[in-house]
Amino acid sequence: MDEYIDIVDANGTPTGESKLKSIIHQKGYYHNTAHIWFYTKSGEVLLSQRSSKKTICPLMWDVSVAGHIDTGETIKQAAIRETKEEIGLSISENDLKKIGVFKCFQTYENGIIDNEFHNTFICELKVSISELTPQEEEVEALKLVSFTHFKDLINNIDNNNNHFVPSNKSYYKFILQNITDTIN
């Protein structure tokens, strides 16, 4: 879907302009995304496998839910909408704990210039994974992994057969630390 996205400057400040997502990725305009990492109190992280239909990093495992912020939407509104769309789960703003904003500026072989600010949240998963409904266009599969297994995957990111995006190693470590600190 080619929705309108608000443009921000190199510091993440809104410019007041918006463009179609395709234009933003073609021209490399800075923009915001929402990342939501779900965890269980029993010590697991929900991972989402990117759909085989994705143009960037298809079939790689990554953040539980992620997406662009549509024009006029707040970041938390986008996080709630994306969670409902991608995994069929209803959450509220009070469920979200913001842990940071991360710059992710990358250019891909297919010509996409992706200059994103990942507004990152953690959120307790209070339902069984069997109650989640992956959106076919976005999510190939979902799985819960223990904190220990998640840490092992991060530590072996260069040898894990494309399980995770290697350039995100420090980001994944930060996520695990914040989730661990939250439940302890």
Q: Give whole-number Cα distances, 143 to 63, 115, 120, 150, 159, in Å.
A: 11, 28, 20, 11, 20
pTM of the model: 0.93
The residue among 67, 163, 70 whose CA lies nearest residue 120 is 67
Instruction: Give the pLDDT score at 144.
Output: 98
Q: Which residues pair with 119 in a beta bridge?
A: 34, 101
* Rg of the Cα atoms in the chain: 16
Cα atoms in the 13 Å half-sphere on the side-chain side of 136? 0
pLDDT of residue 41: 96
Taking alpha carbons only, the member of 77, 76, 91, 74 closest to residue 38 is 91
pLDDT at 162: 59
Q: What integer pLDDT is reported at residue 36 of this predicted model?
A: 98
Query: pLDDT tens per residue, the chain (184 residues)?
Result: 689 999 999 999 999 999 999 999 999 999 999 999 999 999 999 999 988 888 777 778 899 999 999 999 999 999 999 999 999 999 999 999 999 999 988 888 888 888 999 999 999 999 999 999 999 989 999 999 999 999 999 988 877 555 787 778 899 999 999 999 999 8
CB-count exposure of residue 4 (10 Å: 0-12, 13-18, 19+): middle
Give the separation between CA 10 and CA 129, rounded to whole angstroms.
37
Tell me, what's the pLDDT at 89?
Answer: 98
Is residue 64 within 8 Å of 46, Cβ to Cβ? yes
Q: Which amino acid does the sequence have at 184?
A: N
Beta-bridged to residue 62, according to DSSP, are 48
